[in-house]
Chains A and B, each alone.
Chain A
Amino acid sequence: MAMATTAGKSAGPRAAPRSFSARLMDGDQVAHVITFIFAASIMLITVLLVIVLWNHSVLPRNKFGLSFFTGRVWDPVAEQFGALPFVYGTLVTSALSLIIGVPLGLGAAIFLAELAPPKISDGLTFIIELLAAVPSVIYGLLGIFVVVPFVRTGLAPWLIRHFGFLPIFKGPCYGVSFLAAGLVLAIMIVPFIVSVSREVLLAVPRDQREAALALGSTRWESTWKVVVPFATTGILGSVFLAMARALGETMAVTMVVGNVTEIKTSLLAPGYSIAAVIANEFTEATGEIYLQALVELGLVLFLVTFVLNGLARLLILFTAQRGGTT
Chain B
Amino acid sequence: MKKYAMAAGLCLAMALAVGAQSGATLLNGAGATFPYPIYSKWFDVYRQEHSNVQINYQSIGSGGGIRQVIAGTVDFGATDGPMKDEQISQVKTGVLHFPTVLGSVVPIYNIPGVTAELDFTQAALAGIYLGKITKWNDPEIANANKGVNLPADDIVVVHRSDGSGTTYIWVDFLSKVSPEWAGKVGKDTSVNWPVGLGGKGNEGVSGLVKQTPDAIGYVELIYALQNKMTYGKVQNKDGQFVKADLATTTAAAAGAAKSMPEDFRVSITNAPGKTAYPISSFTWLLIPTTIPDASKRDTLKDFLKWMLSKGQTYTADLGYAPLPKEVVQQESKAIAKIK
Taking Cβ atoms with an 8 Å cutoff, the residues of A that contact B are: 73-78, 80, 144, 148-149, 152, 172, 174-176, 254-255, 258-261, 270, 272, 276, 279-287, 291
**B131 on interface, CB distance cutoff 8 Å:** no
Q: How far is the CB of B278 from chain A (nearest CB, A)?
A: 21
CA distance A150 to B87 in the complex (A): 47
CA distance A36 to B61 in the complex (A): 41
Q: How far is the CB of B220 from chain A (nearest CB, A)?
A: 14
Complex interface: chain A residues within 8 A of B199 (CB): 259
**A280-B198, A282-B163 are known contacts; what are 18 more A-B pairs with Cβ within 8 Å?**
A76-B188, A76-B189, A76-B190, A148-B211, A152-B211, A175-B211, A176-B197, A254-B200, A255-B204, A259-B198, A260-B193, A260-B196, A270-B198, A280-B163, A283-B60, A283-B61, A283-B64, A286-B84
Nearest 10 Cβ contacts at the A-B interface? A259-B198, A284-B163, A283-B61, A259-B161, A77-B186, A75-B192, A284-B189, A280-B162, A284-B63, A281-B163
Complex interface: chain B residues within 8 A of A291 (CB): 63
Complex interface: chain B residues within 8 A of A276 (CB): 161
**B164 on interface, CB distance cutoff 8 Å:** yes
State whether A284 touches B187 (Cβ < 8 A).
Answer: no
Q: How far is the CB of B59 from chain A (nearest CB, A)?
A: 10
Q: How far is the CB of A100 from chain B (nearest CB, A)?
A: 23
Complex interface: chain B residues within 8 A of A77 (CB): 185-188, 191-192
State whether A74 touches B192 (Cβ < 8 A).
Answer: yes
Known: A76-B191, A174-B212, A284-B63. A255 touches B200 (CB 8 A): yes
Complex interface: chain B residues within 8 A of A259 (CB): 161, 197-200
Q: For residue A281, which residue of chain B has the nearest CB?
A: B163
CA distance A76 to B87 in the complex (A): 16
Q: How far is the CB of B286 from chain A (nearest CB, A)?
A: 13
Q: For residue A276, which residue of chain B has the nearest CB?
A: B161
Mask: chain B, 206-240; 1 = CB below 8 Å from A; 0 = not? 01100110000000000000000000000000000
State whether B162 touches A176 (Cβ < 8 A).
Answer: no
State whether A254 touches B84 (Cβ < 8 A).
Answer: no
Complex interface: chain A residues within 8 A of B196 (CB): 260
CA distance A172 to B155 in the complex (A): 12
Complex interface: chain A residues within 8 A of B63 (CB): 283-286, 291
- How many residues belonging to B are interface residues under a CB distance threshold of 8 Å? 35
**B257 on interface, CB distance cutoff 8 Å:** no
A-B contact pairs, 16 of them (CB 8 A): A76-B163, A76-B189, A77-B186, A78-B192, A175-B211, A176-B197, A259-B198, A270-B197, A279-B162, A280-B198, A283-B60, A284-B163, A284-B164, A285-B63, A286-B62, A286-B84
Q: How far is the CB of A24 from chain B (nearest CB, A)?
A: 17
For A281, give its contact among B84, B87, B162, B204 (CB under 8 Å): B162
**B311 on interface, CB distance cutoff 8 Å:** no
**B165 on interface, CB distance cutoff 8 Å:** yes
Taking Cβ atoms with an 8 Å cutoff, the residues of B that contact A are: 60-64, 66, 81, 84, 87, 154, 156, 161-165, 185-193, 196-200, 204, 207-208, 211-212
Complex interface: chain B residues within 8 A of A176 (CB): 197, 208
Q: For residue B175, which residue of chain A has the nearest CB?
A: A77
Q: For residue B208, which residue of chain A has the nearest CB?
A: A176
For B212, give its contact among A175, A255, A285 (CB under 8 Å): A175
Complex interface: chain A residues within 8 A of B193 (CB): 260-261
Q: For residue B83, which residue of chain A has the nearest CB?
A: A286
CA distance A76 to B192 in the complex (A): 7
State whether B212 touches A73 (Cβ < 8 A).
Answer: no
State whether B190 touches A284 (Cβ < 8 A).
Answer: yes
CA distance A283 to B156 in the complex (A): 27
Q: For residue A280, which residue of chain B has the nearest CB?
A: B162
Q: For residue A261, which residue of chain B has the nearest CB?
A: B192
Complex interface: chain B residues within 8 A of A172 (CB): 154
Complex interface: chain B residues within 8 A of A286 (CB): 62-63, 66, 81, 84, 87, 188-189
Complex interface: chain B residues within 8 A of A149 (CB): 211
State whether A281 touches B190 (Cβ < 8 A).
Answer: yes
Q: For residue B59, which residue of chain A has the nearest CB?
A: A283
Q: How far is the CB of A214 from chain B (nearest CB, A)?
A: 58
Q: For residue B163, which residue of chain A has the nearest CB?
A: A284
CA distance A42 to B310 in the complex (A): 55
Complex interface: chain A residues within 8 A of B84 (CB): 286
Q: For residue B185, which residue of chain A has the nearest CB?
A: A77
State whether A254 touches B161 (Cβ < 8 A).
Answer: yes
CA distance A176 to B208 in the complex (A): 9
CA distance A260 to B193 in the complex (A): 8
CA distance A149 to B204 in the complex (A): 14
Complex interface: chain A residues within 8 A of B192 (CB): 73-78, 80, 261
Q: How far is the CB of B261 from chain A (nearest CB, A)?
A: 20
Complex interface: chain A residues within 8 A of B197 (CB): 174, 176, 258-260, 270
CA distance A281 to B188 in the complex (A): 11
Q: How far is the CB of B91 from chain A (nearest CB, A)?
A: 14
Q: How far is the CB of A295 from chain B (nearest CB, A)?
A: 13
Complex interface: chain B residues within 8 A of A260 (CB): 193, 196-198
Q: How far is the CB of A151 from chain B (nearest CB, A)?
A: 11
Complex interface: chain B residues within 8 A of A175 (CB): 211-212
Q: How far is the CB of B31 from chain A (nearest CB, A)?
A: 10
Known: A261-B192, A281-B163, A284-B165. A144 touches B207 (CB 8 A): yes
Q: For residue A77, which residue of chain B has the nearest CB?
A: B186
CA distance A152 to B197 in the complex (A): 14
Q: How far is the CB of B315 from chain A (nearest CB, A)?
A: 23
Q: For residue B80, which residue of chain A has the nearest CB?
A: A284
Complex interface: chain B residues within 8 A of A174 (CB): 156, 197, 212
Q: How far is the CB of B211 from chain A (nearest CB, A)?
A: 6
Known: A149-B211, A255-B200. A283 touches B162 (CB 8 A): yes
CA distance A291 to B70 in the complex (A): 15
Q: For residue B195, which residue of chain A has the nearest CB?
A: A260
CA distance A283 to B154 in the complex (A): 33
CA distance A279 to B200 in the complex (A): 10
Q: How far is the CB of A140 from chain B (nearest CB, A)?
A: 9
CA distance A149 to B212 in the complex (A): 9
